[in-house]
Structures are given as structure tokens and as C-alpha cells.
Structure 1
Amino acid sequence: MPESRSFSDIVKIIGPGILYAAAAVGISHLVQATRAGAVYGLSLTAVIIFACMVKYPGIRFGTDYAVATGNNLIISYIKQGRLALAVFLLNVVFTVLFVPVAIALVTAGLLKGIAGIDLSDLVLTAIVLFSAGIILIRGQYRFLERMTKLLVAVFTVLIFIAVVVVIGKVDWGPGNFLPPPINPPTLFFIVIITGFMPSPMTAGTIISLWITAKARQTGVLPTHAEARLDFNIGYFTSFILALSFMLLGAGIMYGTGVE
């Protein structure tokens, strides 16, 4: 009979999974999922669901490997030889290297719009990246996890409230779920949103790094059940948020000509 867990127990267990949810809510959610709803209404719902379902085992493998071996996936690539490591690094260059800069640029835009900060995008983006780096260097993993848990909780609640506000404006007619006409721009967008939804496959490697980092600071490696629970909470959160951003786009911008 499975052991029941209290809410406080679950809060202590979760960590890398919540970091994953926070990392996933980047360009794929803020921009691409919202744009999917704004341009195509609900017609790309199946694409988002399919991408999240297909990627689940591959991204989860990083969690399973870290718990089973106590090492991160990069150690595994090194053991496989230079070719495996080179392929991974090449993948990182094209899928991960520019993502933090893009997210920082979006964050800078939000700060300018909300706080009215009168600085250029380049300067504000540099400040965001520098501040994040200082926080990570000084606070290390423990502070990152605590801060992210709070931010993800607040962010998720606010997004759900926004969805409730606009959900009545969404066209739920059966025709709105039909696939859009396939043309080069639509096909290109589907490829992009599938590749980055809910995150690139390299996220599994990053999760394995977070799990081992947490284990080094706490001195305890999570059990398979604990790590799987943590990952499932984070992955399901990123999936629900992806659909939420699509609904925001569909409710606010679909049919207005705004992309």
C-alpha cells in the first residue's frame, strides 16, 4: 500500500521539478503558446498536447538516471566518449545557449512595460542576466530552489486568475479545434512550437544536474518515488501553463489581427 504524504512532505521533496517548470515557462510559453492561441485559436491544442506527451519519457530520463546512479547525464556522456559529448554540446549550442538571453530579453521587456524603467533593451537585459548570475553564485542551489518555489506558486496562481477572466471570450465551437490550413508559415510555426514545447529535450540533462546539486547540499539522494513525484509535479505544471497561455492568446488576441 503506497505511503501517504502530507503537503509539507511534498513541499520538502519537490525542487528540481519546480525548477524545470520555471525554466520551461520561457519563450515556449510566454511567446509561442500565447502566439498559438492568438493566431490559431484552439486549433493547435492537439499539437501542444502531443508534444508534451511524446517528450515526457525522454525528459524524465534525466531524473531516473540521476537517482539510479547518483551522477548527472553529462558524466554519462563523458563516459561514452568524445563523440557523444560533442553531439550533446552541439545540441546545447542550438537549443539552450541562446535561450537564457532570449528569456532575459523578454523579462527586460516586461520590466519596461510594467515598471516603466527607462533603459535600453540591451542594458536592461544585461542587468537581468548579471543579477541572476550573482544570485546563483552567492545563494547556490538552495536559494535558487526556495526562490523558485515561491515564484512558480505566485506566477501559476496569477496565470490561472487571468485565464478565468478571459475564458468566457474563447470560442469553444468545434470548428475552432480543427487543424489550421497547412502552409509554409504554419508548418514552420508547428515545428518550432513542437521543438520547444514544453521544453527542449536537453532539459533532462539540466534536471539531472539539479538533482545531484541538491543531493550534494542536503547529503541525501531522493528515492525513485520521490524524484518521480517531483518531476511529475513540475512537468504537469509546465503542461497546464502551456495550455493556459494558449487560452490567454485565444481569449484576448484571436481574431483581432494581433500576433
Structure 2
Amino acid sequence: MRRPLGPGLLLAATSVGGSHLLLGPELGARFGLDLLWIVVLAHLLKYPAFEAGPLYAAATGESLLDGYLKVPGPRGWPLWIGLIDMVVESVGVLAAVIGLTASFLHGAFRFGGLPCWGAGVALAALALVWTGGYRRLAKVNLGIMAALVIGTLLAFATALPEPGAVARGLVPGAIPAGGVVLVASVLGWMPTGVGVSIWHSLWMQRSLEDRDVVRDGGTVRWARIDTARGYGLSLVLAIVFVCLGSVVLRPAGIVLEAEVDVALALASLYEQARPWMGSVFLVVAFSAMFSTCYAAMDGFPRTLVATFDLLRGAPRCRQPQSRKIYRLYLVCATLGGMAVLAAIPDPVRLIRVLGAVTLLVTPIYAALNHYCVVRLVPGELPGPGRAWRVLSLCGIAFLAFSAVSLAWIVLVGGA
């Protein structure tokens, strides 16, 4: 039976947000293609951690949050770590995605300040999430994302890098001076934070429940294929954005900083194909980022409620107080994000710092996901083989080493 497209495309859509639109071109603008290998390595070593979410959901009918509750040790300790990380990170993430979304409006209309546009974006997204209206935009979002992907590939076709430069960029080398924080951001937020694997497991769980799918070997294989499709698209787009930054922005001396109009700089990538594509890009990119805004606004409180329900042993989403907690956290996180954006009206800086901070907790999520798949997936189902386990362990080790190295550099003042 033909399987429909699943949550794998949601993962790709989430990835195209800050990590691809900003970090990819910035990496290319600053260092050319010299660090292209970092992008590929980040995708490769984090793949098992991302695949764990839908794989575990398809095999067990549970989300990764349920699996975390079964990890040995004090009851629910991974959930408490996740809660702390989410509460701290959610405000910054919302500030960053709201700020980037607002920058496209600011670039298009050229009046008003970024915090003012950000407030409008935040309140509009908040209203959609509060009323549940964003669910009706799912098909529209898919079309918008398709337009962004097609436009990006067209721009790439008119600004192809030299094959030799691409080949050299895929060979690992030394990290240039001044590139530590940016590289850490790429490792932490490309394709996106590993914590999104929890959202992915919830998406897969809901997708299977809505279609009343029987959990069997075919379902697990479909979940893995669906994830591979979305993840592969994310990798291709990441490489394309780095190449565009290298070919278009770097020769012009444009670096994505606070004093640079980020929206217009990114639009210039698309004007290489056709002059009118810059204006179209602003509209499409705003729409894509706006969908990222309300997806994040929904994802954080939904995960919070699910975690609380698990910790107190309550039936999921059946307690009256769950909806109250959802809405309370939704409002608090949104207002917090608006406050951070007002204090730091620089989405580039926010995303760069958030990506580096995310790297510090990435090995924890990767290790927990590894445990859930290796120890909790029923043996009769087609789980990952030895190659997957080796790649997963290598990823955990590399990410842990990178996180410790970043912490050390920051502590000694070398970043």
C-alpha cells in the first residue's frame, strides 16, 4: 500500500528556519566553502538522534517523552532536564524566529523598528495558536515551503560554485580564527536542535493515531524512509545555502551582522537568478518563517504539558488543567521572546548564540535517544543495525567532545 508523506517534511520545514536561512549563508560569506564539511558532518553524526524520534514512535506507539520516563535512575530525571532546557531555550528561540520573521517585513516595507514588527508577528502567531487556526494552514505551509525550495534551487543554478572548491570544502580541516562560535552554532542548530526529535516523535505518534495504523515492520520502515526523505532535503538545502553565501555574498564583502539589513542581503541571493525574485523571496521567506513561529509557539507548550502529564501520571491531554498550563506557558514564552527581541534586536546574534548554547545539551538528547531505540524498541521489529549504532555512538562522542571544548573555550575567554 502506498504510504503518504509523513512528518519528515515537517522536520525539513523546521530546519529551513534560522539554521539554514542564516547560518548557511553566513558560513559561506565568512569562510567560503572551507567549512562545508562541518555542515555535512553535523547532518551525518546527528542523523541517528533525529531518526530515533519517529522510529521509536512507529515501533512503540509512544513518544520519546514516554521513553525518557523509562531511563534508569531517579524517576523522570531526563524529563526534568528537558523541562529546564526548554524553559530556558524557548524564550530565546521565539525571540530569534520572531526577529528573523519580522526582518523580512522590515526589509519589504522599510519603515518602523524591528521590535515593533516583531510584536506584530508575535501577536498574530499567538492568536493563531490560541484559537487553533494554524492547523488550517498546513497545506498552505507545504506550498510555501515548496516555493522557497524551488526558488533556492533556481538561485543556486545561476550561481554554481566551482566543483573543485566544493570538493576541497568537503575535506576536514582546521577551524579558522574567529569561527569557533559560528561552527558551534552549526553543530548545535543544523539541521536543527536535537531536542526537536521529541516534537518529531509526537508528530509521528499523532500521524499514526489519526490514520489508525497498525504498528508492524512495514510501519517502522515507512517511518525511517519518511525521515530520510526530509533529512536528505535538509542536507541538500544546507549545502546550497552555504554555496550561495560563498558565491554571492562573499565576493561582495557582505557579512550578516547587526548593521546589515539581513532580509535584503538574503534577497540578493535570489536576485542572481531574476531581479524580481528578491521581492518574491521576501514574501515567501516571511511566510515560511511565520509558520516556523507558530509551530514553535505550539511545540514548546505542547511538550511542556505532555511532560507534566507523564511526571504526574495523568492521562495525556485529558486533564482540564493541561489546557490552562498550555495557554499560560504559551503567553509567558511569547511575551518573554518579545522582551528579549526588544533588548537584543539582532536575530543573527540571537541565532548564533542559541545554536552554540544548544550544542551544550545536544549530547544528552542524543544519548537518551540512543538508549530509547536500542533498549526499548521491541526486538521483533526491524530496528537499526550495527552501522546505525556505531554511527550513533560516534555522533554522541563527537558532540560531547565539541560541547566540552566549547565550554572550555568560553570559560577561558578564547571564544
When the two structures are superposed, what TM-score results if normalisation uses the length of structure 1? Answer: 0.83
Q: Distance in 2 between matches of 1:105 and 1:180?
A: 33
Residues 149-206 of structure 1: per-residue CA shift (max 9 Å, x gap)? 2222111101111111222xx3554496376764552122212211111111112111
2:243 alignment counterpart: 247
Correspondence for 1:88: 82
1:112 equivalent in alignment to 2:106: yes
> CA shift at 1:144, angstroms?
5.1
Counterpart of 1:76 (choices 41, 63, 67) is 67
Contact 1:16–1:231 (Cα < 8 Å) also in 2: yes
Q: Which range moved further: 189-198 or 142-151?
A: 142-151
Q: Which runs of 5+ in 2 are unaligned?
A: 256-415
Shift, 1:220, TM fit? 3.8
Verify the 8 A CA contact 2:25 2:242 in the aligned structure 1: yes
Change (3 A) 1:257 1:141: closer
Q: 1:154 to 1:221 in 2, by over 3 A?
A: farther
2:152 counterpart residue number? 159
Matched, 1:148 2:159: no
CA distance in 2, matches of 1:140, 1:221: 30
**What is the deviation of 1:123?**
2.6
Looking at structure 1, the residues matched to 98 and 180 of structure 2 have their Cα atoms a distance apart, in angstroms, of 27
Q: For the aligned residues, what is the CA RMSD?
A: 2.6
Compute the displacement of 1:147 (Å): 3.0
CA contact (8 A) 1:29 1:198 kept: yes
What secondary structure does 1:22 align onto? helix
Give the Cα separation in 1 of the matches to 2:184 and 2:172: 14
Matched residue, 2:55? 64
Q: Which residue of 1 aligns with 2:180?
A: 187
How far apart, in 1, do the equivalents of 2:248 and 2:173 lie? 19
1:230 aligned partner: 226
Are the aligned partners of 1:37 and 1:247 in contact in 2 as well (CA < 8 Å)? yes
Q: Specify the code of the residue in structure 1 equivalent to 2:141.
A: T
TM-score, normalised on structure 2?
Answer: 0.54
Letter in 2 for 1:30: L
Q: Quick one: which amino acid aligns to residue 129 of structure 1?
A: A
Residue type at the aligned position of 1:45: L
Q: Quote how far apart the aligned CAs of 1:55 are.
A: 0.4
Distance in 1 of aligned mates of 2:194 and 2:120 = 28
Structure 1: 5+ residue runs without aligned partners? none
Q: Distance in 1 between matches of 2:134 and 2:63?
A: 15
Between 1:48-57 and 1:211-220, the stretch displaced more is: 211-220
Identical-residue share of aligned pairs (%) = 29
Instruction: Say which SS state the counterpart of residue 111 (structure 2) adopts.
Output: coil
Cα-to-partner distance string for 1:118-159 (whole Å, 9 max, x where unaligned): 343223223223333333444568535423322221111011
- Counterpart of 1:59, as a letter, is F
Q: Is the 8 A contact 2:128 2:134 kept in 1?
A: no
Cα deviation for residue 94 of structure 1 reads: 5.3
Deviations 1:75-123 (A, max 9, x none): 3334442311112223334555422321121111012212x16343223
Candidates 8, 12, 18, aligned match of 1:21? 12
Task: Report SS of the residue matched to 2:34.
Answer: coil
Return the offset for 1:67.
Answer: 0.9
Kindly state the Cα deviation for residue 249 of structure 1 after the two structures are TM-superposed. 0.5
After TM superposition, the structure 1 stretch with the greater mean CA deviation from structure 2, 134-143 or 247-256, is 134-143
Relative contact order, higher structure (CA 8 A, sep 6+): 1
CA drift of 1:49 comes to 0.4
Distance (Å, rounded) in 2 between the aligned partners of 1:142 and 1:214? 14
Which structure: larger Rg? 2
Where 2:186 maps in the other structure, the secondary structure is: helix
SS class of match (1:199)? coil
